[in-house]
Amino acid sequence: MHTRRLVKRSTLGSRVYAPSPTGDGAPLTGVVQAVRQQENRDVSAGARRHVYTVLMQDGSVKEFSEDEIAAGFSQTPGKGPLKSSLKSSGNSRVDGTASQGQTTEAQKGEADPLSPEAVEGDRVADVRKTGRSLECPEREKDHTRSVSLLEQKRKVVSSSIDVPHARKSEEEVDMDKVTAAMVLTSLSTSPLVRSPPVKGTEGVNGWWKDSSVGCFTPSSHSSSGYWSWSGPSDQSNPSTPSPPLSADSFKPFRTAAAHGPPPDDAIDDQDGSSLLFDEPIPRKRKNSMKVMFKCLWKNCGKVLSTAAGIQRHIRTIHLGRNWDSDCSDGEEDFYYSEIKLNTDSVADGLSSLSPVSPSVLSPVPPPHNHHKRPPAESGNKTNGNKENYSHAHSNTTPLSRSAPSALYLIHSDHAYQATAPVTIPSTGSASGPDSTTSVLFTPTSNSNFSISWQSPPVTFTGTAASPTQSCKEQRSQTLSVLSSPPRASGSLSRKSRGEGRKCRKVYGMENRDMWCTACRWKKACQRFTD
């Protein structure tokens, strides 16, 4: 509704890049203090152009023409075709009509080649205007495209935020996210190395920090408590105590969803221009995710939709092997990672971003392989069991190696422990020590874990029937774990259902009275919590 975001107000207060006085070097940033319009049919812009009075970062005040500033913009670091998230939609104004002139126009001049699905630059200008550290990286987007469709939706600020100085292109950031995620996982889970400091990868750290502040802010908090919650514990969530919008909010690449502004509402608020409210969205538990696989090889951001594809890609392109699909030693696993995204819109963005161009900061590839970067070969031929946690498995680093696996084992173990003790109504199973029970409980589906603790990995040493699948699971788990900041720990983005059996299953409908009350009331089981 009343969305009115004022029409393109001037860009006063906006931060802009201006050509460096010396003519060449890096552009300086400054804040627009005033804007003047001049009649002067100049070249490009059409009838009029603006002159900006900019307060430079060094304190001086200068005037720049539209073009100059524009140039500054376009040379912004990343040249990413990134598209990302902005969800444009314009309710009432937003679209291009209104604001003609300004920065937008200039930008368009040079940035559109890449991403077709860009959003309108307008929006960008808008945001920028707030003066607050701008964030959304989507500076260069073409505006040409008929965004009309998009515009129909509500406009939401992108989830990715970018700090002006950050010199990375969006894609780089994306890659880094993935990479860092991996790093963090392996490290943080390692019993030996508990501290977060990821040494040697400060670059990664850097963005991680940045993005967590500006980009994602997963405000997930699900009242994971018992059904008799004692109030949602919003730990230190600075933002509004708003209702649990999305529990599944952060997928690494989740960008502004087609619906509300969930992930970044916090940001939005600060932005001061939160025009939209959350729509009704009655129950949003829907999860139409799409899985993509991204190559983590240095400077390669290839994204494919199938694991096989990406594996092949890595094997042939990066590892220099050429045999076919099926026989792999599993090494490729280390060089790609799975990413989930919901709906197509996002997918588009990713794909468009795949053609990476080597730029300043190169993403750090899977840290643990760090040394083994050069096309190594099947060093440890643990055999192609991709059933594993991609990394950590046949790895060289002792540390990382033990970490994740340990974690998983423990985890599963724990889970079983919880259930095992339960006395199953049916048989008395005369002498049924652990072995018996375990057998009993082993769920056929996610047997990866359980098996490993019980019997030698022989099981899957052979040829993994459906590697991708299990792989997938692993990864997703991994990702979700790390994508959530430490504090949000308790709440996973979702509660991967299934897992342990609950009262109903254990006791059966017949013995309903044996269920815990929660179960009886169709609430979250209290007896068998996962």
Partner DNA sequence: AGTGCCGGGCC
Partner DNA sequence: GGCCCGGCACT
Q: Residue numbers of the site for Zn ion (CB under 5 A)? A: 502-503, 516, 519, 525, 527
**What is the DSSP secondary structure assignment for residue 146, as one 8-state letter?**
-
Least distance (Å) from DNA to the CB of residue 259? 12
Dihedral angle of Cα 56, 62, 65, 69, to the nearest 10 degrees: -10
Comparing CB distances to DNA, the nearer of 24 and 513 is 513
Least distance (Å) from DNA to the CB of residue 88? 25
Applying CB under 7 A, the span of 62-70, 280-288, 344-352, 454-462 interacting with DNA comes to: 280-288
DSSP-assigned states of every residue in 488-529: GGG--SS----SS--HHHHHTTTTGGGS-HHHHTTS--SSS-
**142 interacts with DNA by CB under 7 A:** no
Q: Which partner in DNA, Zn ion, none is near 496 (CB below 5 to 8 A by kind)? A: DNA
Beta bridge partners of 303: 294
Q: Which partner in DNA, Zn ion, none is near 495 (CB below 5 to 8 A by kind)? A: DNA
**285 interacts with DNA by CB under 7 A:** yes
Applying CB under 7 A, the span of 4-12, 23-31, 283-291, 368-376 interacting with DNA comes to: 283-291
Which of 23, 24, 39, 283 binds DNA (CB under 7 A)? It is: 283
Least distance (Å) from DNA to the CB of residue 226? 8
Least distance (Å) from DNA to the CB of residue 287? 3
- Which residue, 270, 76, 70, is CA-closest to 163? 76
Least distance (Å) from DNA to the CB of residue 340? 12
Least distance (Å) from DNA to the CB of residue 280? 10
Interface positions, 476-515, toward DNA (CB under 7 A): 494-498, 501-505, 509
**411 interacts with DNA by CB under 7 A:** no
Cβ contact 527:519 at 8 Å: yes
Cβ contact 356:171 at 8 Å: yes
**425 interacts with DNA by CB under 7 A:** no
Which token pair is 99? 């604001």
Label residue 254 exposed, middle or buried (CB < 10 Å: 0-12, 13-18, 19+).
buried
Comparing CB distances to DNA, the nearer of 371 and 411 is 411
Least distance (Å) from DNA to the CB of residue 241? 15
Least distance (Å) from Zn ion to the CB of residue 498? 15
Q: First-to-last CA distance in the chain?
A: 43
DSSP-assigned states of every residue in 75-118: T-S------TT-B---SSS-STTT--SHHHHHHHHHHTTS-TT-
Comparing CB distances to DNA, the nearer of 189 and 476 is 476
**Cα Rg of the chain (Å, integer):** 26
Provide the 10 A C-beta neighbour count for residue 171: 29
Q: Which partner in DNA, Zn ion, none is near 527 (CB below 5 to 8 A by kind)? A: Zn ion
Q: Which partner in DNA, Zn ion, none is near 309 (CB below 5 to 8 A by kind)? A: none
Binding pattern to DNA, positions 212-251, x when CB under 7 A? ---------------xx---------------x---x---
Q: Which partner in DNA, Zn ion, none is near 445 (CB below 5 to 8 A by kind)? A: DNA
Least distance (Å) from Zn ion to the CB of residue 504? 7
CA distance 213 to 221: 17
> Helices then strands (H, E): number in the chain?
16, 7
The angle at the Cα of 396, spanning 395 to 400, to the nearest 5 degrees, equals 65
Which spans of this chain sit near DNA (rule: CB under 7 A)? 227-228, 244, 248, 282-287, 445, 494-498, 501-505, 509, 517-525, 530
